[in-house]
Structure 1
Amino acid sequence: MEKFKYTQGSIPLLISVPHSGVHIPSDIAARMTPQALTTPDTDWHVDKLYDFAEGLGAHILVATHSRFVVDLNRPATDENLYPGQNTTGLCPVDTFDEEPVYKSDDDQPDAEETARRVESYWRPYHDKLAETLATIKAQFGYALLWDAHSIRSEVPRFFEGRLPDLNLGTANGKSCAPQLAQALQDVAERADGYTAALNGRFKGGYITRAYGKPDDNIHAVQLEQSQITYMDEEPPFGYRPDLADQVKPVLQQLIEATAAFKP
């Protein structure tokens, strides 16, 4: 199966969707628990949420494989991006609810298998991401990266209470120009009926931190969107057009504000 889906664009913006994939190769799936095989920690339907972006001319990169195979938003070396806080790893062995991904400890990937997964699944996505940003920058003199994510509105493992609806992350201001961050925060805070935060619990994962280099004219932002704004958060994790149609105009405003930014 292809490792990602890529749609070429015409503007200096790449939208990355690293966690909406659900495919799990059979040799890995055979060792996983029935609960894990439902891929509960997927960023469900995020690619559908951004279906307007192609019409705006954005480049779009969407992963096809589950984050349980390898997490594309973690460094290949698997260091914790939030030191001192509870997180899942490069090849997760437990779910957000701290349920086991594998049937037994012996079924978990060892260092050798983890390295193979990095080369087989992690590397192709990141190679395409880096190549696309380089192409955009060569054409326009700068590049913009939007890393699109979603998560359940309440995950006690990671945060207390309900998460804000729109969580913007810029690695505490290190991954993009402050003018862009401010413009996006203004859009999010003006969105009627939705709560927003900038660099709160979610400051941006590996993709935002690794590729966002404002001094080199590459500006990256992550949006972690609460799933309660567009879908059913319980199985079978259904897409809710009635909710999605209300929040998608806000997403489009955020994307348009990003695309309009010129360093």
Structure 2
Amino acid sequence: MDKVLSFHQGTLPLLISMPHAGLRLSPVVKAGLVEPAQSLPDTDWHIPRLYDFARGLGASIVSAEYSRFVIDLNRPDDDKPLYIGATTGLYPATLFNGEPLFKAGKEPSAEERAEYLEKIWRPYHETIRSELARLKAQFGYALLWDAHSIRSHVPHLFEGKLPDFNLGTFNGASCDAQLAGRLEAVCGEARGYSHVLNGRFKGGHITRHYGDPANDIHAVQLELAQSTYMEEVEPFTYREDLAQPTQQVLEQLLSAVLAWGETRYLR
């Protein structure tokens, strides 16, 4: 594999993870995708651009280069399901609408998937693990923000329209309750936006695995409705008029995370 991730090391105890922003495909996956999948519709589109302000806040940032259609970095390496009902696995077999992802007989082999696990999944998770360890060693605590987005209507996965800001803390297990409350307050004050805490999206493997409040590592997932910053249909155009006010809320959320950490640990 060539470059499998991008990493920027920041100056404050916050790491932002972007596991579904990648667009690269392995040759086997590219050749095997059905026509509707070739535009990579289930990508977390433009997430690095949407969070481009975060470097200025001092955050560390890790972003995937390969598409989730190759391997899903937000699933455990044993591929145990994270949600009851319709979902996608470590090696996705369907699109979000439930249709097959690959042409019949064109799925990657077990050997190819094992290579994706070793050369794409493991380096991404080692980067998260090592950076959280560095942050905790330097600051005494670490904050993890797992950044996602999804179409606001995906009937196969959830009913109706998704709220704009979907915060996930694995039902309170991945971060301190006061931090979650602070984030809910920010969302509640954001006029024109809806939000929910631990609704349909409670946090995937990254949030659940690395969030460890008892050991001063606090993790939050944000699943953002794509209608808040882009066109949700191909060619998935970034909308600056929508994105700019949404970025302001995102910056308030990340600033609240950092401020909570300072209050909790540095007083």
TM-score of the aligned structures, taking structure 2 as reference length: 0.96
- Asked if the contact 1:36–1:100 (Cα under 8 Å) also holds between the matched residues in 2, the reply is no
Deviations 1:59-115 (A, max 9, x none): 0111111000000000011111013x11011111110012221111x2223443322
1:27 equivalenced with 2:25 (yes/no)? no
Letter in 1 for 2:91: C
- How many angstroms apart in 2 are the aligned matches of 1:209 and 1:77? 14
**Alignment partner, residue 156 of structure 2:** 157
**Alignment partner, residue 74 of structure 1:** 75
- Asked if the contact 1:73–1:206 (Cα under 8 Å) also holds between the matched residues in 2, the reply is yes
1:177 equivalenced with 2:176 (yes/no)? yes
Deviations 1:165-206 (A, max 9, x none): 000000000000001000001001111000000000000000
- Asked if the contact 2:28–2:108 (Cα under 8 Å) also holds between the matched residues in 1, the reply is no
Deviations 1:114-166 (A, max 9, x none): 22211111001001110100000000000000000000000001111000000
Q: Mean Cα displacement is larger for which, 250-259 or 33-42?
A: 33-42
- How many angstroms apart in 2 are the aligned matches of 1:214 and 1:80? 23
**Alignment partner, residue 211 of structure 1:** 210
- How many angstroms apart in 1 are the aligned matches of 2:147 and 2:128? 13
- How many angstroms apart in 1 are the aligned matches of 2:129 and 2:110? 25
**Alignment partner, residue 222 of structure 2:** 223
**Alignment partner, residue 103 of structure 1:** 103
- Asked if the contact 1:16–1:61 (Cα under 8 Å) also holds between the matched residues in 2, the reply is yes
- How many angstroms apart in 2 are the aligned matches of 1:163 and 1:32? 27
- How many angstroms apart in 2 are the aligned matches of 1:46 and 1:39? 14
**Alignment partner, residue 92 of structure 2:** 92
Q: Mean Cα displacement is larger for which, 202-211 or 34-43?
A: 34-43
- Asked if the contact 2:29–2:69 (Cα under 8 Å) also holds between the matched residues in 1, the reply is no
- How many angstroms apart in 2 are the aligned matches of 1:130 and 1:18? 14
**Alignment partner, residue 45 of structure 1:** 46
- Asked if the contact 1:91–1:109 (Cα under 8 Å) also holds between the matched residues in 2, the reply is no
- Asked if the contact 2:231–2:239 (Cα under 8 Å) also holds between the matched residues in 1, the reply is yes
Deviations 1:17-73 (A, max 9, x none): 110111002232112222212110000001111111000100011111100000000
Provide the aligned C-alpha RMSD in A.
Answer: 0.9
**Alignment partner, residue 56 of structure 2:** 55
- How many angstroms apart in 1 are the aligned matches of 2:207 and 2:116? 21
Letter in 2 for 1:15: I
- How many angstroms apart in 2 are the aligned matches of 1:194 and 1:31? 39
Count residues in correspondence: 261
**Alignment partner, residue 256 of structure 1:** 255
- How many angstroms apart in 2 are the aligned matches of 1:158 and 1:35? 18
Q: Mean Cα displacement is larger for which, 113-122 or 11-20?
A: 113-122
TM-score of the aligned structures, taking structure 1 as reference length: 0.97
**Alignment partner, residue 187 of structure 2:** 188
